[in-house]
Structure 1
Amino acid sequence: MAILNWIYVITIILYSGSLIGYFIDFIQHNRKVNRVAFWLLSIVWVLQTVFFVFRMIEYNRLPILTPFEGLFFYAWILVSLSLVINWYFRVDFLVFFTNSVGFLMMALSLFTPTGDVPQQLSDLLISELLVIHVTMVLLSYGAFTVAFAFSIMYVMQHQMLKRKLWGKRLLRLGSLSKLDRLAFVSTVVAFPLLLVGLILGLVWASIKLPQMPWVDAKVLGSLGVLLIYGYYLYQRVVKQIRGYSVALMNVAAFLIVLINYFLSGNFSEFHLWY
């Protein structure tokens, strides 16, 4: 549909305008610009939702299976989470850091094929189990991104306190204990989503594929993500370690998520569509 192309272009433009507004607010503490950026982002969410629904009608399926759709849905999740969390918790700068990743996903989707799943794969891929698997994995990535944003804010706050850089930005970042707690809660939500999503993916593979892809790059990468976040939770819950070190661990873990999302797919024979 030609209208989808226009919706997509307008969404990208408004998204970039919102991100610029949040950046100006981050640098200059401009509340008026912050409000404009918030409403622009709200419009972006509406347009993304409309695009998502129209594409679902056009292809008669949940549009999350192609690389383009995966990136778009990931960005939609980040916009949704950041707006909801900011509405309830009023965490300054969370929207800026989270949607910096979200806009990157939208920008990268410009360079991916926008068509439907290839015909030869459609029968293999379209099933309720696969849709639930992909949805849960992407939701977990969204929650991991929020945890990453909180951890980045914690690291910034810690460094500013250490260097005695007092000012409005320091106050707006929030307390260290609050940032640490919210990063932990986001990770606690994301971890079981990823675990269940991977289990469902393996169940689907055992049904649809001739043999289980245990040594596939995407499978190994996803298990690596589970292990590093599992170690983070072990340090946080069992050993009761809090603060700067686990915040850095959360940041490093998210970098593994990005590597798994973008790089391991290039070497995967299992995730040909994604």
Structure 2
Amino acid sequence: MLHFTDRTWLWFAAACYLTGFVLGTVAVIRERKLSRALMYFIISAGFTLQTFGLYQRGLEVKGCPLGNTFELFQFIAWSAIALYLVIGATFRLSLLGYFTSVLAAALTLVSLAFPAWDATRRVNIFGGNAWIEFHAALALFSYGVFCLLTLTALMYVLQVFSLKRHHLHGLFSFLPSIRELDHICLRLLTAGVVLLTASLGVGAVYWLGDTSTVNTTKLAVTVAIWAAYAITLILRLRNRLIGKRLSWTLLILFAALLATLPLVSGSHVAP
């Protein structure tokens, strides 16, 4: 029986996501609607392979694999895919699978392409503390929600562009309505903020008992990300930040989130 390493399984998963991207792109160029069932199957296959790869890595490092930049990128991609597999069928967004495959392929392939990101595999980084491990996993899952939120915001920007320029063919013809995208953005933004708030709350239970374990840099970065998204949510609920301005804000916030990932990787991924 063949024995593959965790990285090999993750390469297989990336290949599935890349296949979804290629098939989706070809369908868009030909102005044909890609089968949602086919895209769902391809992404599900990638998710299964990625889950197995991360599971193997978890066994090796004796915990949730969140010990370096490579593992963080992989876990965020995995979280976004997991969420898509749930809401993709619920909202029936024709292009969400395509955009999800694009982002998942980008995150997984970029992380695999830089061996230095995975040069050090830290073992038992949470010291057997279930609270901190749960906190870290919850925080990274909220990042996965923000990942899917970013895709929805991107579709909103493209839809606005298509309506203003009267480009109603090709990719633009498959985009959901402005109203539907706005509703989904609000729901995902709310879910992401709630999850990250819960993550910080779980972490605080441990930190207050032993403040010497707090890494101020990682805590400051995580709180800053939480505050940025929370303020954005409040402004949206008050209709102070809506439409294209909201979408561009969400795109910028996610770019900033990815840029801070190296700051939260290390012996204690959770701040």
Using structure 1 for the length normalisation, give the TM-score: 0.83
**Whole-Å separation in 1 of the counterparts to 2:18 and 2:144:** 19
Deviations 1:61-82 (A, max 9, x none): 3333443332222221122222
User: Is the 1:56–1:62 contact (alpha carbons within 8 Å) kept by the matching residues of 2?
Assistant: yes
SS in 1 for 2:93: coil
Unpaired runs of 5+ residues, structure 1, are: none
Equivalent runs, 1:98-247 vs 2, <5 Å:
98-110=100-112, 111=115, 112-113=117-118, 116-118=121-123, 122=124, 125-167=127-169, 169-207=171-209, 210=212, 212-214=214-216, 216=217, 218-239=218-239, 241-247=241-247
Q: Report the alpha carbon displacement of residue 113 of structure 1 after superposing the two structures with TM.
A: 1.9
Equivalent runs, 1:61-100 vs 2, <5 Å:
61-100=63-102
1:247–1:6 distance in 2 versus 1, CA, 3 Å:
closer
SS in 2 for 1:30: coil
Q: Which moved more, 1:52-61 or 1:135-144?
A: 52-61
1:30–1:38 distance in 2 versus 1, CA, 3 Å:
farther
% identical equivalent positions: 20
User: Is the 1:205–1:212 contact (alpha carbons within 8 Å) kept by the matching residues of 2?
Assistant: yes
Equivalent runs, 1:259-274 vs 2, <5 Å:
259-262=259-262, 264-265=263-264, 271-274=266-269
2:4 corresponding residue in structure 1: 3
Deviations 1:209-260 (A, max 9, x none): 626444x1x3222222222212211221124653222222222222222222
1:32–1:23 distance in 2 versus 1, CA, 3 Å:
closer
Q: Report the alpha carbon displacement of residue 185 of structure 1 after superposing the two structures with TM.
A: 0.3
State the aligned residue count: 264
Unpaired runs of 5+ residues, structure 2, are: none
2:254 corresponding residue in structure 1: 254
1:31–1:220 distance in 2 versus 1, CA, 3 Å:
same
User: Is the 1:66–1:273 contact (alpha carbons within 8 Å) kept by the matching residues of 2?
Assistant: no
SS in 1 for 2:122: coil
Two-structure CA RMSD over aligned residues (Å): 2.7
Using structure 2 for the length normalisation, give the TM-score: 0.84
**Whole-Å separation in 2 of the counterparts to 1:61 and 1:142:** 19
**Whole-Å separation in 2 of the counterparts to 1:246 and 1:123:** 37
